[in-house]
Amino acid sequence: MIPYSPWLSWIIPLVGSFLMPILAKLNQKIRDWTPFLLVTVSSIFTFSMLPDVYNGYSSDITVQWIPSFNLTAGVLVDSLSVFMAGLVSFIGALILLYSIGYMAEEEGLTRYYFFMLLFIGAMIGLVMADNFFQLYIFWEIVGLCSYALIGFWYKRPEAVKAGMKAFIVTRVGDLCFLIGILILYFNSGSLNFLVLKDQLTFGLLGTSLIMSVALLMFGGAIGKSAQVPLFVWLPDAMEGPTTVSALIHAATMVKAGVYLMARITTIFSFSTTYLLVVALVGAVTAFMAATMALATFDLKRVLAYSTISQLGYMFIALGLGSSEGWLASQFHLMSHAFFKALLFLCAGVVIHTLGTRDMRKMGGLRKHMPITFAAFMIGALSLSAIPPFNGFWSKDMILESAYVHGGYFGYLMFFIGAVTAAITFAYTIRMVALVFLGEESEFIKNMSRKLHEPLKVMIIPLVILAFACLFSGFLQSPFASAFSQMVIIRKSVTFMKIEVEPLTYSLLSLLVGGLPAYLIYVKRTVLPQKITEKKVMGFIYKILANGYYFDSFYNFVFVRGTALISSKVRKLQTGILNINMLAFLAGILCLIFLAFQGGVV
Amino acid sequence: MLSNFEKGKGREKMNTLDYYVAFSIALYVIGIYCLATKRNMIRIVLGIEILINAANVNFIAFSAYRAEGFIDPFAHSVVIISIALAGCVSAVALALVVYAYKHYGTLDIRKLRRLRG
């Protein structure tokens, strides 16, 4: 471990972000390359910690922060934090490298790089924090950065709205999280993870207290990780630049919720009710988001729904409550980070060249962009869990741990997971077929520019991520042993050995999902329009395309409701200075009158 | 109010203090009137300046009547700082006025009510 690396890994990007306005004055090239270099340095620091934690090193380095409140600032070095920090800095560096090419023609790049660096720095700080308060501060910075970056193109009203939506919807979860932290603090007097763990071992905290705190914190995770019912912000967040979407989905924002849940599962031990809630929310989300992805024509929105669905998988695995499930969720987090970053960056290439996100206008891009197509295929196959790509290993691990868990609960989770895997494969085939296969659309034929492969700085991250997708799936056993300090694997599971039964079922489900999609979208034996023309299918399609009417419901109840109340209260707040001053004068006169009255009496 | 403040002091002095305070109140009322009725942003900035000056005059006046034959230098120093700050405030305010005029093409505050970037 390089000295001070737990601190430097997040302080470097954070401080660097504030240097951006100065660097932007020097030179455009310096401005574009510095963020990438800074995050690379930070990832060197995080990677230097990997061998130590692999060998079982863990420590909690604290400094005094606010002594009167018994608050310390500190960094916790253990497998979970170092693993997350390494992932974030690695993917962050690749995305920043890609940004140099992707964002080259945009305006306001100083702002962009400032928030990107702040985003990455805050996320690394979040995972390295050793107490809930520090974690919460970084949690909020991450939220702020996501707001600013989703609304990066502030001249487009949809982007501004999407940014605000992301901010407000996640705020609901953040409030739950804050309440949970405060309840915990007032009852235990400390927010440090290890201290809390000790207190729990000695039985100083009641189970009901822990239960409520954990549920409130799960509320925070629901908001951040876009689970049902607070998932509505993530599809809209696609209004931001594609690099931002890649960062939000692969490394930073949505992973914060999963990290939080993984962290508190190592601290608290839970009752089955709580775990049931987590797993059910995850299962419902995984299924609903996957079905919604089937009825979407926006390339990035399909990817967004698939992220929500995959996050649901991680919550299912966490909700199982077993060590295998915990490990599987983290392993899937890593796989998902790689393939989703890859998919988004490839989608970015497509959107960058075509200038549209509508999949109906795409098609036949395979011939024009072979490298992008190959990379996208690798990502898509990983997403749909085809062996031997990494998604297969991690998704299989989740399904397997659900199957091994047994009982109604375990089998139900396994069933939902398998069904979702089928739908995942179906929408992946649909996406690939619409974008890359088939005939060129009119839109592409009429394009004046010639289609071509992107710049080299954009290709390199794609290639690196594609290789990561190919090989990271084989890291199961070192992964499991690195986490042995966090969780005790109850039985000696050798993860390369695969249980035959769940594997058969999950492969069968892939066939069930894949075949119709293949026939409809690749072979084009049946036209998709024909299917939606039928009454029942058309009805289902309408529900899916409208996202189960969650958006309309929120719009009607909360947005319109707030607007209605505000318009009634508006008369008190006219915003006209003259009227305010008159009211002020009246107030002064009343005060003087009262004063003289007091003098007389 | 004033009688409480100057209890036991000579009647003669009271009178002179009254003049100063009356002047300051008059300035204050003018300032409030300006803020309450005017729509032009520059006039509003001037109104704020008048209000600050009313307060300054009040300060100086009371400092001279705190004790017999003694003028409190502290109040004077505060007022000098206050004047300097008022200058800063008006400078910033006028800069905002200039930009608002460039952006919207009007100085009517009722037309500037939309808070948009």
Q: State the SS3 of A251-281.
A: CCHHHHHHHHHHHHHHHCCCCHHHHHHHHHH
Report, as ranges of residue numbers, the positions in chain B whose pLDDT lies below 70. Answer: 1-15, 114-117
At A201, is the pLDDT very low, low, confident or very high (cuts 50, 70, 90)? confident
A312, A416 in Cβ contact below 8 A?
no
3-state secondary structure of B38: coil
Do the Cβ atoms of A578 and B1 come within 8 Å?
Answer: no
Per-residue pLDDT at B115: 59
- Stated pTM of the model: 0.83
Q: Which pLDDT score, from 0 to 100, does residue A560 have?
A: 92
Short-list A414, A386, A388, CA closest to A513? A386
CB atoms within 10 A of CB A406: 10
Check A578 against B37: CB less than 8 A apart. Answer: yes
Is the CA virtual torsion B5, B8, B14, B17 positive or negative? negative
- How near does any CA of chain B get to the CA of A439, in Å? 45
Of A296, A425, A434, residue with least CA distance to A354: A434
Mean pLDDT of A156-172: 91
CA B52 to chain A, closest CA, distance in angstroms equals 16
The pLDDT tens digits for B62-96 are: 888 877 778 888 889 999 999 999 999 999 999 99
Read off the pLDDT of residues A85-134 as tens digits, 9 standing for 90 and up.
999 999 999 999 999 988 888 888 999 999 999 999 999 999 999 989 99
A192: left (phi over 0), alpha (psi -120 to 50) or beta: beta
CA distance A581 to chain B (A): 5
Q: Quote the CA–CA distance of B21 and A451 in Å, as a whole number.
A: 80
Q: Tell which of B32, B107, B112 to mutate to test the A interface (max A CBs under 10 Å).
A: B32
Task: Give the per-residue pLDDT at B36.
Answer: 87
Q: Give the pLDDT score at A491.
A: 46
- Tell me whether B1 touches chain A (CB under 8 Å): yes
The residue ranking higher by pLDDT, A290 or B4, is A290
> At CB < 8 Å, which residues of chain A contact B?
154, 575-578, 581-582, 584-585, 595-596, 599
Q: Of B1, B38, B39, which is closest to A595 when you measure between CB atoms?
A: B1
What does the pLDDT read at residue A347? 92
Out of A360-374, A506-520, A524-538, pick the least confident.
A524-538
Model pLDDT for residues A236-276, shown as the tens digit of each residue: 999 889 999 999 998 888 999 999 999 888 887 667 788 88
pLDDT band at A289 (very low <50, low <70, confident <90, very high): very high
Six token digits for residue A408:
């109604």
Query: Is the ipTM here above 0.85?
Result: no
